[in-house]
Structure 1
């Protein structure tokens, strides 16, 4: 899939032409240093902007216009990437080839998208109090729903302990305890800061004329030059003298075990591809050694899997266990890691892990968001555009010795258990 990266006025535009989809996808991203002081402001801002524009003053009016434009969809979100807070706005609009007659929707959809980002509805020069209050309520409900999920709650508690002196302890979704401190005026200042100072990226995926898209984007989006020094990996770390072991209690029928490892390999590293293969073999695939050993062989858990946080340099293991069996499960998980580090896995295990990684790569190209995410990852961290076939070749080239080296470099940081008191 051919693509181009173009520098326009104050931002970069990634074009990915493809005829695979019946829709075109546009994403506009604003990135600023992640910090606690702006955490809630940036968590709320995209949703306040989606609440109404000067031309379409309510969510209902925006949705009506989207429906009029053949089911156009506009969304927004916030995430943490490395040391950056990333606010994203997305537009999905049907390809005009599939519309009846001479119907034209892309320009009108892009105008609506521009209005959401650049023409918010204001009252007396600021965001409306009722809208801000409503979005605070919705965000609080979303955060509380996460805490009601015991597995998610246990993971967040482990993260808070493991990274207690690092920015990674904060969730980009927001901090419930300080949400009520957000004011319309503070939110407006955060909005202005975003437009004036953030590092900006735009991506367009779909079937289009390149000249037409560049002209359409250039007419609607223009920014003043700003420093281009985003930090896409999180290098904050600490010296681990001994792993932390933490047990907390709650109303749970199934204990939740969370284990955090530090790893030296981050996204952008030459060792990244061997790391994702090692991660898949260890616990991040359906046929991983953790699953086959801890669950299937020893029956120590209801579920177990690992996840590699590439931007942070961490691996997290999650398991649901019978209360009272967490210690045995944790010991077995560590034993499996040592087993892989010593080379006690078969060539078939390695081949299956590679197949899992490659399958995941191919599946990402089946969605517009997946394509945008892959290109953003490589635009930010590698000196080449995303290339599926090249990446598959790099995965296939991973050796047993490289997998052993990656797993041997795991450093156990935190073991966290959420269980009931009578366990």
Structure 2
């Protein structure tokens, strides 16, 4: 069940007896206008996760969650296309599995109301508490700096910096240190107020519940109508005639070779389901050509996979290789793509890849959180299909359609993190 609470605010109830928990998600979504918002929003999410007026430190929040039979709470940040979302997630045991009249749902609603609407603020200056702000800012700066030590992530970010023309798109989802250093407690609090007033809000509750439970939750989350609507959520860019290429040397045990392509297919539009099958055949599964031919048969990669981001029309390949094998691996990757263009796939492999996609999709029903996130995406994109229809669309994909998708793929960027200095 879904309802429009007010303009820009929706709420949905997912009634299920599959889980013994009640789960609540509250999402704040906006279209990013400047890359500095990435750091700002991540910092705000971290601040709201660890403090509020009633619970001014992380220990008091943990103590309250423990009182609620080990409930859990956390915030997340996510980017899809031009959108950025801050999510508040709360999970507790369903009242039906507790003795007595505990009414944990009401307590959960009151807790979310507190952490979302009553942050720890220094008055009358109207800014986040300086000590908490400084600590969370330092923590985030340290986290961003340690990301550089994960060389697979580092290579992926360098590839995106070469592929994307928009600074918002190639800046990491959590922002960068330069922007973060320029944020003060007052700026962050003012942006938080803007978030409360303007972000699109999606509230989802899941569990063995009834309609009145959703109504009870909404009484504690008094969001007002939004004046600003999301608009175009997808990011697109024109292909370039010149392939971006960059090589960087570091002392590593394993080199990283990443490749980016433009694939002009968006989420749940024409050819979307064929694109999912194509990606699974290319490098998105253990039955894929990259995995079997590059990693297994040729033994040219420690790992080789592909991913497709349909909100940004972005297809990318990640490999871990020996430095001296770079050119050979590039040719192998190109060969796998060409073999899909020509339809060089056995009937058995083709059907097994589709079966694997269907199995993965069905496994989502075992995750309460995944179903809730899908509900939010359905609301935002205004495209919703039943599970049976999704499965039918995958099953109906033909090899010819996959070949046509492969023909749309256009090489745009190559990044090589050369680790040969370590040998």
TM bin, normalised by shorter chain, reads over 0.9
Q: State the partner residue of 2:91.
A: 92
Q: State the partner residue of 1:331.
A: 331
Gaps of 5+ in 1: none
Q: Secondary structure at the match of 1:307?
A: strand
Q: Distance in 2 between matches of 1:347 and 1:256?
A: 33
Q: Secondary structure at the match of 2:324?
A: coil
Q: Taking structure 1 as the reference length, what is the TM-score of the superposition? A: 0.95
Q: CA RMSD in A?
A: 1.5
Q: After TM superposition, give the deviation of residue 352 of structure 1 in Å.
A: 1.5
1:8 aligns with 2:2: no
Q: After TM superposition, give the deviation of residue 108 of structure 1 in Å.
A: 0.7
Paired residues, number:
418
Q: State the partner residue of 2:394.
A: 395
Q: After TM superposition, give the deviation of residue 141 of structure 1 in Å.
A: 2.3
Q: Distance in 1 between matches of 2:101 and 2:166?
A: 58
Q: Secondary structure at the match of 2:122?
A: coil
Q: After TM superposition, give the deviation of residue 167 of structure 1 in Å.
A: 2.6
- Which deviates more from structure 2 when the two are superposed, residues 160-169 or residues 300-309? 160-169
Distance change in 2, residues 1:302/1:421 (3 Å): closer
Q: State the partner residue of 1:33.
A: 31
Q: State the partner residue of 1:294.
A: 294
Q: Secondary structure at the match of 1:77?
A: strand
Q: Secondary structure at the match of 1:239?
A: coil
Q: State the partner residue of 1:222.
A: 223
Q: Distance in 2 between matches of 1:371 and 1:32?
A: 21
Distance change in 2, residues 1:274/1:218 (3 Å): farther
Q: Distance in 2 between matches of 1:234 and 1:99?
A: 47
Gaps of 5+ in 2: none
Q: State the partner residue of 1:207.
A: 208
1:381 aligns with 2:378: no
Q: Distance in 1 between matches of 2:50 and 2:315?
A: 37
Q: Distance in 1 between matches of 2:416 and 2:220?
A: 54
Distance change in 2, residues 1:367/1:245 (3 Å): same
- Which deviates more from structure 2 when the two are superposed, residues 101-110 or residues 88-97? 101-110
1:245 aligns with 2:245: yes
Q: Distance in 2 between matches of 1:221 and 1:358?
A: 40
Q: After TM superposition, give the deviation of residue 316 of structure 1 in Å.
A: 0.9
Question: 1:253–1:323: 8 Å Cα contact kept in structure 2?
Answer: no
Cα deviation per residue 1:70-120 (whole Å; 9 max; x = unaligned)? Answer: 111111011112111211111111111111233221101110111100011
Q: After TM superposition, give the deviation of residue 233 of structure 1 in Å.
A: 1.6
Question: 1:31–1:230: 8 Å Cα contact kept in structure 2?
Answer: no
Q: After TM superposition, give the deviation of residue 9 of structure 1 in Å.
A: 2.9
Q: State the partner residue of 1:62.
A: 61
Write out aligned runs for 1:263-412 (5 A).
Answer: 263-384=263-384, 386-412=385-411
Q: State the partner residue of 1:137.
A: 138
Cα deviation per residue 1:361-380 (whole Å; 9 max; x = unaligned)? Answer: 11222112211122222222
Question: 1:261–1:316: 8 Å Cα contact kept in structure 2?
Answer: yes
Q: Secondary structure at the match of 1:92?
A: strand
Question: 1:263–1:314: 8 Å Cα contact kept in structure 2?
Answer: yes
Q: Taking structure 2 as the reference length, what is the TM-score of the superposition? A: 0.95
